[in-house]
Amino acid sequence: MATLSDLNLNRRALPAPLPLDSGRELPGVELAYETYGELAADGGNAILLFHALTGDQFVASDQPLTGKPGWWVRMVGPGKVIDTDRFFVICANVIGGCMGSTGPSSIGPEGKPWGMEFPVITISDMVRAQVALLDQLGIGRLHAVVGGSMGGMQALSFAANYPDRAERVLAIATTARHSAQNIAFHEVGRQAIMADPEWQAGAYYESGKGPEKGLSVARMAAHITYLSEAGLTEKFGRRLQDRDSKTFGFDADFQIESYLRYQGLSFTNRFDANSYLYITRAMDYFDLAEEHGGMLADAFRKSDARFCLISFDTDWLYTTSDMREVVHALNAVAAPVSFVELSAPFGHDSFLLDVPALDRVMKGFLE
Amino acid sequence: MATLSDLNLNRRALPAPLPLDSGRELPGVELAYETYGELAADGGNAILLFHALTGDQFVASDQPLTGKPGWWVRMVGPGKVIDTDRFFVICANVIGGCMGSTGPSSIGPEGKPWGMEFPVITISDMVRAQVALLDQLGIGRLHAVVGGSMGGMQALSFAANYPDRAERVLAIATTARHSAQNIAFHEVGRQAIMADPEWQAGAYYESGKGPEKGLSVARMAAHITYLSEAGLTEKFGRRLQDRDSKTFGFDADFQIESYLRYQGLSFTNRFDANSYLYITRAMDYFDLAEEHGGMLADAFRKSDARFCLISFDTDWLYTTSDMREVVHALNAVAAPVSFVELSAPFGHDSFLLDVPALDRVMKGFLE
């Protein structure tokens, strides 16, 4: 398998250190990004896509480490819902990430990987970096910002902090605030990573190993939250894996066990454990109301964008009720908003999967 | 802190090896148990209580390792819901456990702790051992069997396999079958334990250490499933732990993080990691319909007991819908059953907490 340094990634350096919500500055920031389609002469056809926790900039092209198709290839491309014959689509790896943007695995000012010396970042720091990238690329007002899950958090944060910079804000399967239960699941993942002796307080890069077992457990725990209980029952139930009867042992007797182990192991080939720590921390810190004096409506008071919010009925990670809080805040400032709860069996992951109603709603909104 | 061998536990050896569902036999079985109240001359006032995954026989007396009150002291005692002035209450540590009954930490036939040589057991194996204990104690037909969570599984298994041995079966917050999601959470916990190098393939007893970090992560993940999302929000929300603002670090900024870490760490002082593996495996294997030809109703066809089933509206681990399947099976064989879904904010843990309606329903049923 290729490693990151083998890849010829599209990268852009930011011209100045990035101010962070913590009060620190991040020097030497580079953002790795992909674009699809062509920027119109007037610059008005650009859509900024934000990726989710474990996503990256490879939206509609093969992920070079795994060779797998982009994470939203069903949605983005010529003639598709986000039509690259019409729109210029940009997606950048978030800061803190591990697909080429500056993160804990990048070489820091002391000439070695940052590790846990990397500053703790926030969702709004991630967005600030991407707005700086837009500035570098000469892109002013966007046709739309679009994102699901953590990508939706970035879309809402963008709307709040750059209120005149996008005509449309499309946020899917997301929340304006991480709940206690959301934080709890992330904390389990972080503790699993930190419990792995190969983590070495984050300084594992030169050891040739890393906290792969811990990261794998973290991914397994998170993965459960991405699927619905009913979806798991339908997909796996209590079916056995390649065997006729239970083995009375600790092998993966059940398909669900085998599936989760695979999800955990394959994740470690493409994701950096420290990035997982930093990005989950950013999500846990996310509370858009708190950032705006405790009143969520105030976050959107200056926005001149149109909003479209989409939740899924089986998503128990970021629920319809979470999304309704955003709707109510937008209503309170008379912002134009359409909101729909879609029915889909896949839980939180519905935004990535084949949900025709999602396509129709998105296409209509982005016209 | 005391260790198990310091304690003067009530133990009874079974007279013969215990046949197991796997086809193996477990030799030299001892059960550690506690009793409360006095057995009536006719033996008709005995109630067998089954404990949950991480519970033990110390229902209404202090747990000797932790010094904490028994896990159901609010429910069991003189004049209480399970009135020990009237009833003789027995609770035994399950086989596979670690509070004195034979389990993976017990000395096996080769003169050293069983570790992973311990046979994989099932819920029905646990019950078989306890019926053998009843035989030893000269107790025939019980006034009732009672249990919540894994204890409820044992109560249902008892009803199915010893259909004339209890007048009443009271099962709370439980299920007749572990779902894919239930298995998934347990598998995360097992992988967390097995990922810990101190686990040493289960042969850690003589090293003076153990997979405490892995066990702690397992407990944290499980603990989330015991609480409701709304309960977590009410109890912790996004409140910070002993600080005025976020630290932009990886300490436990949020109360929920601090709480979970404490739950994980304190668990390792009183529970054996291998026992956690074996008992979760038994729960995952539990499928009462499968044991009875695929038809849950057939499990109860021979029973002459009265049933009372109780679920909680906020329990997402073993839901009201899971319980309804048991109700329908009992209805199908015309068994006398009362079923109630109680409203309580605490999620699965409601059966252990202050829910006055639970007390009333239980008291009425056990009269």
Cβ contact A256–B180 (<8 Å)? yes
Q: Which CATH class is domain A4-179+287-366?
A: alpha beta
Cβ contact B257–A183 (<8 Å)? yes
Provide mean pLDDT across the span A87-113.
97
Residues of A in contact with B235 (CB under 8 A): 180
**Nearest C-alpha of chain A: how many angstroms from B66?**
24
Cβ contact B256–A216 (<8 Å)? no
**Nearest C-alpha of chain A: how many angstroms from B40?**
40
Q: Which CATH class is domain B4-178+288-366?
A: alpha beta
Catalytic positions of B, written as ranges? 149, 315, 348
* Cα(B270)–Cα(B293) distance, integer angstroms: 38
CB B227 within 8 A of CB B347: yes
Catalytic positions of A, written as ranges? 149, 315, 348
CB A359 within 8 A of CB A81: yes
| Residue entry with tokens 């050891």 | A207
pLDDT bracket for residue B355 (50, 70, 90): very high
Provide mean pLDDT across the span B200-221.
96
pLDDT bracket for residue B2 (50, 70, 90): low
pLDDT at A1 over 60: no
Residues of A in contact with B181 (CB under 8 A): 224, 229, 232-233
Give percent of chain B above pLDDT 70.
99
Please state the domain extents for chain B. 4-178+288-366, 183-279
**Across-strand partners of B76?**
B82
Residues of B in contact with A287 (CB under 8 A): 238
- A183-279 topology per CATH: Rna Polymerase Sigma Factor; Chain: A (1.10.1740)
pLDDT at A3 over 90: no
Helical residues (DSSP H) of chain B, grouped into ranges: 123-137, 150-161, 180-195, 212-226, 229-235, 255-268, 273-285, 296-299, 320-332, 356-366
**Across-strand partners of A92?**
A33
- Selection from B231, B230, B252 nearest residue B240 by Cα: B252
Residues of B in contact with A248 (CB under 8 A): 21-22, 24, 119-120
User: Which of the residues A123, A216, A225, A248 would you substitute to probe the B interface, choosing the one with the greatest number of B C-beta atoms within 10 Å?
Assistant: A248
- Selection from B51, B289, B293 nearest residue B179 by Cα: B289
Cβ contact B184–A284 (<8 Å)? no
Chain A residue with Cα closest to B260: A184
DSSP letter assigned to residue B19 = E
pLDDT at B1 over 60: no
pLDDT in tens, B83-99: 999 999 999 999 999 99
pLDDT at A273 over 80: yes
- Selection from B97, B87, B90 nearest residue B126 by Cα: B97
Chain B residue with Cα closest to A238: B180
Give percent of chain A above pLDDT 90.
97
Would you state the pLDDT for residue B6? 77
* Cα(B210)–Cα(B273) distance, integer angstroms: 8
- Selection from B177, B182, B179 nearest residue B294 by Cα: B177
Would you state the pLDDT for residue B178? 97
User: Which of the residues B228, B229, B255, B274 would you substitute to probe the A interface, choosing the one with the greatest number of A C-beta atoms within 10 Å?
Assistant: B229
Cβ contact B181–A217 (<8 Å)? no
Provide mean pLDDT across the span B329-342.
98
pLDDT at B28 over 80: yes
| Residue entry with tokens 């695929």 | B294
The token pair that represents A249 in the structure block: 């042992």
Provide mean pLDDT across the span A162-169.
98
Residues of A in contact with B220 (CB under 8 A): 184, 187-188, 191
Query: Among A187, A224, A281, whose Cβ lies nearest the Cβ of B185?
Result: A224
Computed from CA positions of residues B263, B269, B274, B280, in that sequence, does the dihedral angle turn out positive or negative?
Answer: negative
- Selection from A162, A136, A51 nearest residue A99 by Cα: A51
Cβ contact B120–A237 (<8 Å)? no
The token pair that represents B121 in the structure block: 């057991």
Would you state the pLDDT for residue A208? 86
Cβ contact B116–A188 (<8 Å)? no
User: Which of the residues B25, B118, B191, B254 would you substitute to probe the A interface, choosing the one with the greatest number of A C-beta atoms within 10 Å?
Assistant: B191
Residues of A in contact with B277 (CB under 8 A): 250
Non-local (6+) Cβ contacts of A106 within 8 A are A30, A113, A114, A118
Let me know the angle formed at the C-alpha of B182 by B178 and B185, rounded to the nearest 5 degrees: 150
Q: How many cross-chain Cβ pairs, A to B, lie less than 8 Å apart?
A: 152
Which ipTM value was assigned to this complex? 0.95
Would you state the pLDDT for residue A7? 85
To which H or E segment does residue A260 belong? helix A255-268
pLDDT at A13 over 60: yes
pLDDT bracket for residue B208 (50, 70, 90): confident
**Nearest C-alpha of chain A: how many angstroms from B263?**
12
Cβ contact B180–A254 (<8 Å)? yes
Cβ contact B257–A187 (<8 Å)? yes
Would you state the pLDDT for residue A2? 62
CA trace torsion A191, A194, A195, A200 (10° rounding) = 180
User: Which of the residues B21, B25, B121, B183 would you substitute to probe the A interface, choosing the one with the greatest number of A C-beta atoms within 10 Å?
Assistant: B183
* Cα(B325)–Cα(B329) distance, integer angstroms: 6
User: Which of the residues B250, B275, B319 would you substitute to probe the A interface, choosing the one with the greatest number of A C-beta atoms within 10 Å?
Assistant: B250
Q: Mapped to the 3 state alphabet, what secondary structure does B306-367 carry?
A: EEEEEEECCCCCCCHHHHHHHHHHHHHCCCCEEEEEECCCCHHHHHHCCCHHHHHHHHHHHC
User: Which phi-psi region, left, alpha or beta, contains residue B325 (left: φ > 0; alpha: ψ -120 to 50)?
Assistant: alpha
* Pairing outcome for strands B11-13 and B30-36: antiparallel
* Cα(A58)–Cα(B143) distance, integer angstroms: 65
Least confident of A78-82, A283-287, A288-292, B7-11: B7-11
Provide mean pLDDT across the span B106-111.
96
pLDDT in tens, A59-86: 999 999 999 999 999 999 999 999 999 9
Cβ contact A214–B195 (<8 Å)? yes
Phi, psi of A337 (to 5 degrees): -140, 135
Would you state the pLDDT for residue A9? 95
- Selection from A175, A272, A180, A276 nearest residue A222 by Cα: A276
Neighbour count for residue A110 (Cβ, 10 Å): 8
* Cα(B230)–Cα(B236) distance, integer angstroms: 10
pLDDT at A359 over 70: yes
Would you state the pLDDT for residue A198? 98
Cα separations (Å) of B163 from B88, B144, B156, B330?
21, 12, 10, 13
Cβ contact A184–B224 (<8 Å)? yes
**Nearest C-alpha of chain B: how many angstroms from A117?**
10
* Cα(A229)–Cα(A258) distance, integer angstroms: 17
Would you state the pLDDT for residue A4? 80
Chain A residue with Cα closest to B274: A250
Residues of B in contact with A214 (CB under 8 A): 195
DSSP letter assigned to residue B242 = S
pLDDT in tens, B238-276: 999 999 999 999 999 999 999 999 999 999 999 999 999
pLDDT at B307 over 90: yes
Query: Among A195, A233, A287, whose Cβ lies nearest the Cβ of B238?
Result: A287
Chain A residue with Cα closest to B287: A238
Residues of A in contact with B246 (CB under 8 A): 285
Would you state the pLDDT for residue B7? 85
pLDDT at A363 over 80: yes
pLDDT at A210 over 70: yes
Would you state the pLDDT for residue B360? 98
